[in-house]
Structure 1
């Protein structure tokens, strides 16, 4: 993890000896007030929240700076447009307590984004051993904006001293659709660098799955989501 430029890092929630450090990467154009307020309602005590609010850093640099600033042995990631349930961190801690060999934990996502544990390591609900993340080099800016979290998770699987797991009860609310869109060049690079994992995780093995994947890569589902979410907003604005 190379040293980035000095950025704006704050701790809206602090603790002298945190077990978990929550890292929220954001930029000044986006509000992070709501996610911090939800984090204030967590049912655990020994945690801190680190907000990296700097438009000069890409998302990987921002996450890496948060990891460097973290004082907890566990780092939990979420995004500025998410709403963590009150028991989110308690379930994260419980997962690591029950499984001493766990180095990376992915959880479920629902709302505008849904995820149920296909080894894609969605960054809005991801927790990991801090030392393990540093050992594998953190997040790679080469994938910033597309598959950066997946690529990180696959390196944790391959290189970190432990194992990765998915827990369905570690849940995150992502109210709006994701802001990221398909980057074909980065998708091709991920496939080239991780051919076996790519085939096992991202290439469907059924005909309906392959049709669905083809539609996604052609942008069909992005159009469906745009209609699904923009139409209700338009109706509300006319009232």
Structure 2
């Protein structure tokens, strides 16, 4: 078997079904891949209203954290290559076939594909505008050794050798893992045609993600380097949002650029609040889960 697709989920059943429907339509032959869904809830039970396809392998990982869930899925996998995506993602129908072609014609050990943003029914135009410009710039990050698990492939032998994801991390574990792999000499490439669609977040969801990233990152920095929350806050303060950010497409209107800058500024001050809350112990970063 070529691929083992691993999907962690945490009470996200409706979007998971859309992801599975997309996987059922893959142009790669069914016998070439398996699908492993890892439930990261406390109960490990599928709700009565949800019916998973019989070709899906369902496992439970009670330890909180999507990286623990991904490691559990990898333990169960029998494919030559692990294919990671998320329950809110919709893989293109050629996702696996395109990935197989690249693995067959290159010497790469890891592959990061394109993550394209779409606006769903629950989204809003401001969240879509912002994330369409800022979210998941795989084409820039993968060559630097940083890939996201929304669309990441890795040979299982390499995954096992490197040791999997750091399960203690609540956010940023995908970058930490891929950097660890590339620093050990394993090759990671970016592949534009290996495509996954990701829904644009609403503004509250964007801030919720910032909380996960800020708290998870601060906890990791404090554990690994011993830095105080005051020092972490100070490091953040110097990174003031830039209205003329380089990754803004030229075709954006001035008003659209202002909206993006406004959201950047909101995130900047929200992270100040979060770091201050951690510093004064109003927020426990270890209780914020991915």
Task: State TM-score, norm by structure 2.
Answer: 0.58
Instruction: Give the 3-state SS of the residue equivalent to 2:209 in structure 1.
Output: coil
Alpha-carbon distance, 1:208 to partner: 3.8
Structure 1 segments, 4+ long, off by >6 Å, are 191-194, 210-214
Alpha-carbon distance, 1:95 to partner: 1.4
Q: Tell me which residue corresponds to 1:218.
A: 269
Tell me if 1:181 matches 2:210: yes
User: In 1, are the aligned partners of 2:109 and 2:154 still within 8 Å (CA)?
Assistant: yes
Q: For residues 11-55 of structure 1, what are the alpha-carbon distances to aligned partners after superposition, in whole Å with 9 as ceiling and x for unaligned?
A: xxxxxxx20110000124533211111100000111111111131
Alpha-carbon distance, 1:130 to partner: 0.8
User: In 1, are the aligned partners of 2:8 and 2:39 still within 8 Å (CA)?
Assistant: yes
Unaligned runs of 5+ in 2: 42-61, 119-130, 226-238, 247-259, 272-290
Instruction: Please list, as runs of the form range in 1=range in 2, the aligned pairs for 1:86-101 lying within 5 A after superposition.
Output: 86-100=93-107
The two structures, once aligned, show a CA RMSD in angstroms of 3.0
Tell me if 1:127 matches 2:153: yes
Alpha-carbon distance, 1:192 to partner: 9.3
Unaligned runs of 5+ in 1: 1-17, 195-202, 221-239
Tell me if 1:41 matches 2:92: no
Alpha-carbon distance, 1:122 to partner: 1.3
Alpha-carbon distance, 1:136 to partner: 1.1
Q: Tell me which residue corresponds to 1:25.
A: 8
Cα distance in 2 for residues equivalent to 1:43 and 1:142 = 36
Q: Tell me which residue corresponds to 2:257.
A: none
Instruction: Please list, as runs of the form range in 1=range in 2, the aligned pairs for 1:152-191 lying within 5 A after superposition.
Output: 152-159=177-184, 162-177=186-201, 180-182=209-211, 183-188=213-218, 189=220
Cα distance in 2 for residues equivalent to 1:29 and 1:94 = 31
- Correspondence for 2:168 among 127, 131, 142: 142
User: In 2, are the aligned partners of 1:106 and 1:127 still within 8 Å (CA)?
Assistant: yes
Cα distance in 1 for residues equivalent to 2:214 and 2:9 = 24
Which stretch of the first structure deviates more once superposed, 173-182 or 208-217?
Answer: 208-217
